[in-house]
Amino acid sequence: MRYIFIILLIVSIANNAYSQNNGKLYNQIINRSELLIIDHRYQEALKEYEQVFNDTGIAFTRDIYNALVCSAKLGDYKRVKKFSAQLAEKGVGAMFFSRNVFKNYYNRKDFKKIVNMAAKVHERFKNNNLLYNDTLNEFVGLDQAYNRIRLTRYADSFDLPDTLEVLFWHNTQNLLRFIKNNGFYTENKVGAYVHDTILGRSYSADIVFLHYLEMGHDKDLINQIKDLYLNKLYDCEIPPGHTEQIIQLANNVFGDTGDYAYKIYQCGLYKMKGLPEPQNISANREKYLLDNIDDYGKKLAFVYSEPGEFAFTPRIIGGSYIDEAFLKESYNFIAKIEGCAQ
């Protein structure tokens, strides 16, 4: 029995290492594909996408969609159909296919079959997860109610009353327990994170965890939440864009990832001239499978200066007052924001 246990332990460790390496490889190639898209090298980007999908067995909705847009730009209808069918199986729903990139295909008989399949798969995901989603929504509803009290009655207070703090704690703890017992809301479980035609980066229940990361006091619970996200990330159950949004909003709980290096000011995108502790930032970004800070900037510039059909995750979230003199002294202009009116 002892030897069997040791063998099982070795296999488990090997599988975990393989999964993490697979996730790292996947995200490296996706990053390379997106940089090729920025350079308008769609054929090369498409080749990278197809290779990583085949080699790793992983394909997140957003990446399938970007591969599809490359195919559309190359006039490759065979691949457009293939990726559209994969999106339909992901649960994007029929409405998603009203995006502009599909306008030349929507009335084709063979493409309509894919759209009809998308509607059925979306409904199947919905029906299979009715109780699961209803329960998640209960946790979200309680969190919103508690947060409303916090914002209206205690907006000027640094610490919450004990009763409200305990309510937040219990709700978050119960959600964590529910997910451990019933599974995390991955694409494979609940379907693609899509709002009509818009690809989302996260799920509604994330707000419960995010609020606790921002203002909770139980360090053990905070670490459990962090471990939950990172384990799902490393196991390739959620894409880096999912955790990226949590990390950006979680008040530095995950460490410095340098997102503040980029600012938007008066229709311009700016980059900080010199980052504090760049090695630490680089290590954290690598740890969380995020693009390096320069590639992140290239994607931000692409997202804001060349808005189109591609769906990249980088975004500058929120913003605070920016002193113009400080901006000019500490930041360099790198791109103009398309469609922006000062």
pLDDT in tens, 261-281: 999 888 899 999 988 889 999
Distance, CA of 176 to CA of 109 (rounded, Å): 45
What is the rounded average pLDDT for all residues in the chain?
A: 89
Place of tokens 């305990």: 166
**Residue ranges covered by each domain of the chain:** 2-126, 129-249, 259-336
Q: Answer for the pair 178, 142: CB distance below 8 angstroms, yes or no.
A: no
Distance, CA of 236 to CA of 231 (rounded, Å): 9
**Does residue 73 carry a pLDDT above 60?**
yes
Output the six-digit token pair for 132.
Answer: 């699961």
Amino acid at 262: Y
Q: Per DSSP, what are the bridge partners of residue 195?
A: 198
Q: What phi and psi values does residue 174 have, to the nearest 5 degrees?
A: -65, -40
Amino acid at 320: S
Distance, CA of 294 to CA of 276 (rounded, Å): 15
Continuous segment of H or E residues that includes residue 33: helix 2-38
**Does residue 171 carry a pLDDT above 60?**
yes
**Does residue 296 carry a pLDDT above 70?**
yes
Sheet containing 331-336: which strands, arranged edge to edge?
A: 262-265, 268-272, 331-336
**Does residue 94 carry a pLDDT above 90?**
yes
Q: Answer for the pair 52, 44: CB distance below 8 angstroms, yes or no.
A: no
CATH class (in words) of the domain with range 2-126: mainly alpha
Q: Is 41 exposed, middle or buried (0-12, 13-18, 19+ CB in 10 A)?
A: middle
**Does residue 17 carry a pLDDT above 50?**
no
Sign of the Cα torsion 232, 49, 83, 66 reads positive
Q: Which segments within the chain are labelled E, that is strand?
A: 194-195, 198-199, 262-265, 268-272, 331-336
Residues across the chain: 342
Distance, CA of 103 to CA of 93 (rounded, Å): 16
Name the H helices within 39-76.
42-56, 61-73
**Does residue 24 carry a pLDDT above 90?**
no
| Residues 172-221: tens digit of each pLDDT | 999 999 999 999 999 999 999 998 888 887 889 999 999 999 888 899 99
Sign of the Cα torsion 143, 187, 118, 122 reads negative
